[in-house]
Homo-oligomer: A and B are copies of this chain.
């Protein structure tokens, strides 16, 4: 078969491929990651490349994405273009996946304070006991004699029993196989690394000498949109680094459902699995390098994610999650060696995945419950996690109920032309005074787009300033240069071209406002349904915790005013940021927290909203700012 060389610019990466390989496949072979949301179907138009050398045939699909001029200049869709000649191909900046941009430009995601939190569960509680899942202990063993000739491993475990809570230990064969020599070479001075495995101490590694200072773990929040990791010192419990990247699975579908379809209907689970593993390996490597940590000294990873993400992570088919009656393969994930899924840390290092409740209430929520401590005390509290799905938990130390509703990616910056995640350059605060828009961006950078908290502000400010009506339509009678029509749709300009990083205006369209209202409506309807289901009223919730990747902060009064969060005293509402990550870190650093998570997963009751008749009515009633039933929001009063 003929083979051709493709040279990708601007980085001059070369790859030799078989005749007929698509350009998208060729980029993957070089390790270049370009945008692709539809999974290579020629539908999303994200994978645009420009062929500058060699002969390539423009494909039919190109017509709908490119101008005549662009087609003449060699623009093609990578997924629809086959290599049948030696080619030189330019990757335009907009086609390069943001993952790449972040790494190339050296920018990092700005984290909310909650993500930087140390070991507190709540600010008003004492430190959770520091008792990491994996421990390292330095032992100086007595040398054997004829009167004390216990086996080598017994000599170790009897010392371990003095310094740990485990009575029984298990050990892998490779660890045993070189033990005898190791003990004698190092004069009976060794460092033992062992993990909690069920109720047994699992010996992972025995090193010569004292290496107990070199002891690290990683926690990962595997979000549908973003994967965020922290590097934690397991000797001190301190966070020593944090890093995030877009979930590379996005090329196989922007939301959970389309990725499930890609994996299940097409039978292509493997690439979706590999994508998130690449995310984690990249983050782990970058965190280790930046903090001068040897990756082999990382012996534990705890990941939290929704049930589908957890299945993808472990290469388990999520196909029955998608279809009624919504059955996952498992909700409690086995402790495995990280190498079993090709995660590159210490070869004997373990991976734990936070347990899920049901198909649509995952380990990220269990981690969130651990992070806010709501399962510890008799007061009834509520956790609201707003992501692509909105998940709600209500309960206390005796009972816990939960539900989830599909909210769409609007609050994570998805489904809007200028939406973006809460990274540098995102507009996170907006105020409109006298027709002037005042905004603040993350990192004080020139704006690139608007993140979730900015969109909440925008929605509130536009209603307050009479720019949109409470049902989300523009008030066409207002006179402002900010209201423009594009492609037959009205858009409100938040930042003019000269104000922005890109030189293009940042604006919000009517249909995008509609998406935001549907998102907030779904979340609120889920909260209302669950409160009704357990026979409570909002006033009976002692505290509401709001979690999610909105940005570094969330304006609670404005979130109430748009009808996203119940209208209770703002002092009883607390924004806790990425509680999935905080919770995952508690699982890693505290065995009691880890064991709590298993108990919580067992005792939490999932209410299937798809099976709960009142939910749809609640949803329709919530498609208004703040709500069709104004009695639910007594404090909200838009001053016009």
- Given the complex of chains A and B, what is the CA–CA distance between A276 and B326 in angstroms? 50
**Complex contact A154–B608 (CB within 8 A):** no
Q: A149-B359, A320-B152, A611-B146 are in contact. Are A179 and B334 (CB under 8 A)?
A: no
Q: Residues 338-381 of chain A: 1 if any B CB is under 8 Å from the residue's CB, otherwise 0?
A: 00110000000000000000110000000000000000000000
Q: Which of A171-197 contact B (CB under 8 A)?
A: 171-173, 176-181, 184
Q: Which of A48-102 contact B (CB under 8 A)?
A: none
Point out the residues of chain B lying under 8 angstroms from A608, CB to CB. Answer: 146, 149
**Complex contact A178–B317 (CB within 8 A):** yes
Please tell me if A151 contacts chain B, counting CB pairs below 8 Å.
Answer: yes
**Complex contact A168–B198 (CB within 8 A):** yes
Chain B residue with minimal CB distance to A318?
Answer: B180
Chain B residue with minimal CB distance to A611?
Answer: B146
Q: A151-B330, A198-B200, A608-B146 are in contact. Are A317 and B170 (CB under 8 A)?
A: no
**Complex contact B329–A179 (CB within 8 A):** yes
**Complex contact A316–B176 (CB within 8 A):** yes
**Complex contact A177–B315 (CB within 8 A):** yes
Point out the residues of chain B lying under 8 angstroms from A173, CB to CB. Answer: 314-315, 334, 336, 340-341
Chain B: minimal CB distance from A384 (Å): 23
Chain B: minimal CB distance from A266 (Å): 14
Point out the residues of chain B lying under 8 angstroms from A153, CB to CB. Answer: 329-330, 332
- Given the complex of chains A and B, what is the CA–CA distance between A146 and B610 in angstroms? 9
Please tell me if A150 contacts chain B, counting CB pairs below 8 Å.
Answer: yes
Name, among A198, A200, A336, the residue most crowded by chain B CB atoms within 10 Å (CB to CB).
A198
Please tell me if A144 contacts chain B, counting CB pairs below 8 Å.
Answer: yes
Q: A176-B334, A608-B146 are in contact. Are A181 and B317 (CB under 8 A)?
A: yes
Point out the residues of chain B lying under 8 angstroms from A325, CB to CB. Answer: 144-146, 148-149
Q: Residues 112-155 of chain A: 1 if any B CB is under 8 Å from the residue's CB, otherwise 0?
A: 00000000000000000000000000000000111111111111
Residues on A facing B (Cβ under 8 Å) = 144-155, 168, 170-173, 176-181, 184, 198, 200, 314-317, 319-320, 324-332, 334, 336, 340-341, 358-359, 608, 610-611
